[in-house]
Amino acid sequence: MAEASSRSRRGGRAARRAMREDSANAPVAMGSIKRNIPYTELCSAEGLDIIEANAQTILREIGIDFKGDLEALDLWRNAGADVEGERVRFPDGLVRSLLATAPATYVQHARNPARNVTFGGGNVIFAPVYGPPFVHDLDHGRRYGTIADFENLVRLAYVAPHLHHSGGTVCEPVDIPVNKRHLDMVYAHMRLSDKPFMGSVTAPDRAADTVAMCEILFGADFVAENTVCTSLINVNSPMTFDEVMLGALKTYARAGQAVIITPFIMSGAMAPVSAAGTLAQALAEAMAGMAFTQLVRPGAPVVFGLFSSALSMQSGAPTFGTPEPNLVLSAAAQLARRLKLPFRSGGSLCGSKLPDAQAAYESANSLMPAVLSGVNFLLHGAGWLEGGLSSSFEKFVMDCDQLGMSATLLKGYDLSEEGQAMDAIREIGPGGHYLGSAHTQAHFEEAFYRSTLADNNSFEQWESDGSKDMAIRANAKWKQWLNDYVQPPLDASIDEALQAFIAKRKEGMEDRWS
């Protein structure tokens, strides 16, 4: 694990490449799932070739804007790109050669080493929803999120057995000034959970604060040599990186911390309406952003991200769980594997305003294709409601149940003699019943995934239990989880140092609310 994750500050491109090749055989961190089923690949090799060629044309002819960041433009100019104003065009081969230093896999360390996760390869990591300004539950409906909600969502993610990652902005704590809330958010992840987490990206100094707090939590030496946070850099599609995101990107990459370069695309608005067009543009954007991380620091861990939705041509709103973004997603995962880089997608996405059937159909139709297609880091795995405007407490636990099922699916087939069960078939024979067989009795406990929320009782039993739908059962479940939550111990001196850091940083700031 140390080999795969520790990075020398010196080694050149060849050394990075060697490390990257080694890392394919690196041990898997305990926190993530190792997939044991083949990838679902919906796009033909010929289709991928066309998309790659078109992405190269975009990079060479059209170019990508790097806005408000003279240093970025200098870095590109020095690397051999054609810089004209803020537009950067890339000679064929430049971007790919820069990507050669990006690691194929990396370990993100958690403060509890048993919860370390491996990005890339056959590894799968589930993380909660990211970004909603609102929260929603059946008791109080929809309202702006607060730091109390944020902390409760972090607690739920900690309790959830199938979330490997604590995520980042599980909701916006709008009761805290905009320029201060990143400190409270990062602190909540550090204090209330021992799972790995994401850092702030809303300004370069907030990214620097995240790194500083990581140095307090993990020790500066450890942070210098290891990845301890993975943060989300969205592309302002089409083909634009803005000053804020570039600043955060540079801060994290320089510190050797991971970033996810994510073309954030609603086809029809930020990209063409067609899957092949969206894919070519997204590939160009992701490659340019990922290559830029390697310009900043060769070997810095980076993830190929994609957030894909489609524009409703009726309402102008984004739609989720529909077939076209799934075609984009599946091919994007294939393209990421061709680049030998970790891949991130959205998770349990939906446009519904309630944790109802629409929410569930759309979420399942987002989650399963992502899992089958080979996502390594599944963001928005639990709690996403209303097109990402709300974090739903009920949907959080509903989605977590679905993640558990995905984890089971990823295990694939047991082809051992015990799995083949020929003795059981011989024992029972035609017309028999397997419930009493020795094989069933031996595997009774772990034979099937047990849903935490599905009601499979008889209609009469369900009626006498109160005729509850899944959302109502989920309302009880998240309250039970919060009740069950036990805060993982954190060294008191570290906690004090974190609090002191936050207090000092806040001292110097005027409250800002936008």
Residue 102 vs residues 18, 24, 120, 303, 389: alpha-carbon distances, Å:
11, 13, 11, 9, 33
Region at 331 (left for phi over 0; alpha for psi -120 to 50; beta for the rest) = alpha
CA 338 to chain centre: 20
Q: How far is the CB of 420 from its own copies (least distance, A)?
A: 5
Q: How far is the CB of 442 from its own copies (least distance, A)?
A: 9
Q: Which is nearer to its own copies, 22 or 86 (CB)?
A: 86
Dist CA 383 CA 359 (whole Å): 10
Q: Which is nearer to its own copies, 101 or 326 (CB)?
A: 326
Q: How far is the CB of 95 from its own copies (least distance, A)?
A: 16
Dist CA 141 CA 422 (whole Å): 53
Query: What element of type H or E holds 36?
Result: none
Q: Which is nearer to its own copies, 429 or 508 (CB)?
A: 429
Q: How far is the CB of 309 from its own copies (least distance, A)?
A: 10
Dist CA 467 CA 18 (whole Å): 60
Q: Which is nearer to its own copies, 179 or 326 (CB)?
A: 326
Residue keyed to tokens 């990823």: 410
Q: Which is nearer to its own copies, 416 or 514 (CB)?
A: 416
Give buried/exposed letters for 441-469 (b at 16+ CB in 10 A, else e). eebeeeeeeeebbeeeeeeeeeeeeeeee
- Report which of 27, 15, 28 is spatially closest to residue 100, judged by C-alpha positions: 15
Residue keyed to tokens 């309202």: 143
User: Using an 8 Å Cβ cutoff, are 346 and 366 in contact?
Assistant: yes
Q: Which is nearer to its own copies, 232 or 310 (CB)?
A: 310
Q: Which is nearer to its own copies, 205 or 324 (CB)?
A: 324
Q: How far is the CB of 275 from its own copies (least distance, A)?
A: 5
Q: How far is the CB of 353 from its own copies (least distance, A)?
A: 5
Q: Which is nearer to its own copies, 146 or 240 (CB)?
A: 240
Q: How far is the CB of 364 from its own copies (least distance, A)?
A: 3
Burial of 135 (0-12, 13-18, 19+ CB in 10 A): buried
Read off the tokens for 23: 């890392």
- Report which of 79, 55, 80 is spatially closest to residue 287, judged by C-alpha positions: 55
Q: Which is nearer to its own copies, 146 or 437 (CB)?
A: 437
Q: How far is the CB of 225 from its own copies (least distance, A)?
A: 37
Q: How far is the CB of 335 from its own copies (least distance, A)?
A: 13
Taking residue 36's Cβ as centre, other Cβ atoms within 10 Å add up to 12
Q: Which is nearer to its own copies, 134 or 218 (CB)?
A: 134
Read off the tokens for 167: 């995520």
Dist CA 221 CA 225 (whole Å): 7
Q: How far is the CB of 331 from its own copies (least distance, A)?
A: 7
User: Using an 8 Å Cβ cutoff, are 452 and 484 in contact?
Assistant: no
Q: Which is nearer to its own copies, 171 or 239 (CB)?
A: 239
Read off the tokens for 128: 């909660």
Dist CA 356 CA 370 (whole Å): 21
User: Using an 8 Å Cβ cutoff, are 191 and 496 in contact?
Assistant: no
Helices (H), 297-392: 323-339, 357-373
Q: How far is the CB of 201 from its own copies (least distance, A)?
A: 20
